[in-house]
């Protein structure tokens, strides 16, 4: 019987690659998204993966959304917390709204999504919670006080969940991608992007599929003993 996996922000960028890789690995996959209906419809048309719209920043919507996914596809055994946003500004110009939006989505979103699926994982004595953090949560980044805080917070959540879930057969792990070629990075001005690439020893941006392969490994039975860990995938840019 195939396991059910839910990928937040699973219709574009890294999330889309994760949804597709999990499907190819035999999972029954649901992809959540926030508002871009056009991209979601195109994604389903191309992949056959059903999409479910709600914001991970809304606790009640997450409870309701996960129930809908489970009614349609069965208990969620693999949760991939991938949805994330940036609202960059140097600290002295960062507004409370920019701070709040990023924390609500990238950090509280992980709480909001994991909380409703956790009791079922405990009961069934199996679960995989995989959270996409970031290199910038590990090292900080100019103009990203909000984003770096949210992504560093995700690592703390992951390590704590790992300790609470271990005896129930649940693992919680994080992946810290470096710079990956998605809309998020392509939105950066070309000159800045070139400067970023110059700092990556591998000499190129990462591919969404390279992050997706880390996820399929962490989701697999082979990864049972890997718990509370962080996989860095950044082209040799930064080591932890």
Q: Which residues are catalytic?
A: 147
* Residues in contact with 75: Cβ distance below 8 Å, sequence separation at least 6, in sequence order: 4, 120, 124
Cβ 108 to ligand NDP shortest distance, Å: 10
The site string for ligand NDP over 175-214 (x = CB under 6 A, - otherwise) reads: --x-xx-xxxx-----------------------------
State in angstroms the smallest separation of the CB of 125 from ligand NDP.
Answer: 28
Is 172 among the residues that bind ligand NDP (CB under 6 A)? no
Q: Which of 4, 5, 13, 69 binds ligand NDP (CB under 6 A)?
A: 13
Beta-strand runs (E) in the chain: 4-7, 28-33, 51-53, 76-81, 127-132, 170-177, 230-233
| C-alpha–C-alpha distance, residues 58 and 224, integer Å | 31
Per DSSP, the residues of 9-41 read: TTTSHHHHHHHHHHHHTT-EEEEEESS-HHHHH
Specify the residue for token string 């055994």: 77
Give residues 125-144 in contact with ligand NDP (rule: CB under 6 A). 132, 134
Cα dihedral sign for 213, 218, 224, 230? positive
Q: Cβ closer to ligand NDP: 7 or 126?
A: 7
Count of residues binding ligand NDP (CB under 6 A)?
30
- Residue 90 and residue 143 in contact, taking contact as beta carbons nearer than 8 Å: yes
Task: Tell me how far apart the alpha carbons of residues 143 and 88 are, in angstroms, rounded to a whole number.
Answer: 5
Among the listed ranges 63-71, 160-168, 174-182, 194-202, the one in contact with ligand NDP (CB under 6 A) is: 174-182
Rounded CA-CA distance 66/75 in Å is 9
Nearer of residues 196 and 223 to ligand NDP, judged by Cβ: 196
Which residues within the stretch 14-73 sit at the binding site for ligand NDP (CB under 6 A)? 14-15, 32-36, 39, 55-57
9 binds ligand NDP per the rule CB under 6 A: yes
Residues that bind ligand NDP in the complex, under the rule CB under 6 A = 8-9, 11-15, 32-36, 39, 55-57, 82-85, 105, 132, 134, 177, 179-180, 182-185
């Amino acid at each position: 019987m195939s396991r059910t996996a839910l990928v937040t922000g699973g219709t574009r960028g890294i999330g889309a690659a994760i949804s597709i890789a999990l499907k190819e690995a035999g999972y029954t996959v649901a992809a959540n998204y926030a508002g871009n209906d056009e991209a979601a419809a195109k994604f389903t048309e191309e992949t056959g993966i059903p999409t479910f719209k709600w914001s991970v920043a809304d606790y009640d919507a997450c409870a309701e959304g996960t129930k809908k996914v489970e009614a349609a596809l069965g208990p969620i055994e693999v949760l991939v917390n991938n949805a994330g946003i940036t609202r960059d500004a140097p600290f002295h110009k960062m507004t409370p709204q920019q701070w709040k939006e990023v924390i609500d989505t990238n950090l509280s979103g992980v709480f909001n999504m994991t909380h409703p699926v956790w009791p079922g994982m405990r009961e069934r004595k199996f679960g995989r919670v995989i959270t996409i953090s970031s290199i910038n949560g590990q090292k900080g980044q100019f103009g990203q006080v909000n984003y770096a805080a949210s992504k560093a917070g995700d690592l703390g959540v992951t390590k704590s969940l790992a300790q609470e879930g271990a005896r129930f057969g649940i693992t919680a792990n994080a992946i810290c991608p470096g710079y990956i070629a998605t809309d998020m990075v392509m939105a950066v001005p070309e000159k800045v992007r070139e400067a970023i690439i110059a700092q990556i020893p591998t000499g190129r941006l990462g591919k969404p599929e390279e992050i997706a392969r880390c996820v399929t490994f962490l989701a697999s039975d082979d990864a049972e003993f890997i718990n509370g860990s962080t996989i860095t995938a950044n082209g040799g840019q930064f080591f932890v």
